[in-house]
Amino acid sequence: MIRILDQVLTVVAASIVAATAVITCIAVFCRSVLHSSLPWPEEITGYALVWTSFIGAYLAVRDDSHIGFDLLVENLPPGPQKVLRTVTDIVVIAFFAVLVRQSWRMLDVVGNTPLQTFEAIPVGVFIAALPLSGAGIILALCLRIAERWRSAG
C-alpha cells in the first residue's frame, strides 16, 4: 500500500512541476509577446513550490536519499549504529510532529483566506502540504525504524 502512495506522490510531484513550467511559460508569453502581465502566476508557482518541496521531502525519506553526514555512524559496530540511527529518526519524527501540529493550527486560522491574486483558491490548498507531508514523513520514519529493528544485525 505504501509503495502505491509513493508512486502516486511521484506522479503528483511531477505533475505540479510540469504545471509550474506551463504556467511560467504562459506568464512569460503574456509579458513578452502580449505586453500584459498576468497577476497570478508568481503566487501560484510560489505556492506550488511548497507542494513539490514537501512531497519531495517525503519521497526522499522513503528512499533514504536525504543528504547526510554518516562518517561517524558508518564506523560504529552494528548495534550502536542501529541505536544511533533510530535516535536520529525519533528526533526527526519529533520535529515533524511539531510541524504537523503547528501547520494544522495555521491551516485552521488562515486556510480559508483566498489568494491575493486568484481569489477562487484558498491559501489552505497550499498550506495543506505541510501537515499532510509531515504526517507522511512521520509514517515513513516509523516504517523505517520498524524495518531496521525487524531485520537482523
State the pLDDT confidence band at 152, using cuts at 50, 70 and 90.
low
Q: What residues make up the domain containing 62?
A: 2-150
Q: What is the pLDDT of residue 70?
A: 83
Q: What is the pLDDT of residues 13-49, one digit of tens each?
A: 999 999 999 999 999 999 999 999 999 999 999 999 9
Give the span between the Cα atoms of 106 and 14, in whole angstroms: 27
**How many domains are there within the chain?**
1
Give the span between the Cα atoms of 28 and 21, in whole angstroms: 11
Question: All 3 cell numbers of residue 63?
Answer: 528512499
11 contacts: CB under 8 Å, gap ≥ 6: none
Q: Is the pTM of this model over 0.95?
A: no
- Scanning the structure block, which residue is given the C-alpha cell 511560467? 24
